[in-house]
Amino acid sequence: MSIARVDTARLAEVGGPAPVLLTVEEAAYCLRIGRTTCFALIRTGELESLMVGGLRRVPADAPAAYLARRRAEQRAA
């Protein structure tokens, strides 16, 4: 089970579906980083996000994908 799935499951309401989109704060929590760092990752394109109306949202699988890329980069180095 991926880290993001564990954390987003806890973010879901009891008995409700797991979230498909996360707020930037929720994504930062999943990655255990600060909100400002999360926005920096979004700005550089390292962390996928999209605009829904005027709100910035992060797909629920994006934190796990970011982590997987970082781990692969470190293994290759």
pLDDT at 9 (0 to 100): 56
Cα dihedral 77, 75, 49, 37 in deg (nearest 10): -70
For the chain, strand residue ranges (E) read 21-22, 50-52, 55-59
- The tokens describing 46, both together, are 């390292």
Q: What angle do CA 39, 26, 21 make, to 5 degrees?
A: 95
Calculate mean pLDDT across residues 58-72: 97
pLDDT at 6 (0 to 100): 46
Q: Is the pLDDT of residue 8 over 60?
A: no
Q: Which domains does the chain have, with CATH numbers?
A: 3-76 (1.10.10)
Q: Is 75 exposed, middle or buried (0-12, 13-18, 19+ CB in 10 A)?
A: exposed
Count Cα atoms within 13 angstroms, Cβ side, for 58. Answer: 29
- The pTM (predicted TM-score) of the whole model is 0.78
pLDDT tens across 17-50, in order? Answer: 889 999 999 999 999 999 999 999 999 999 999 9
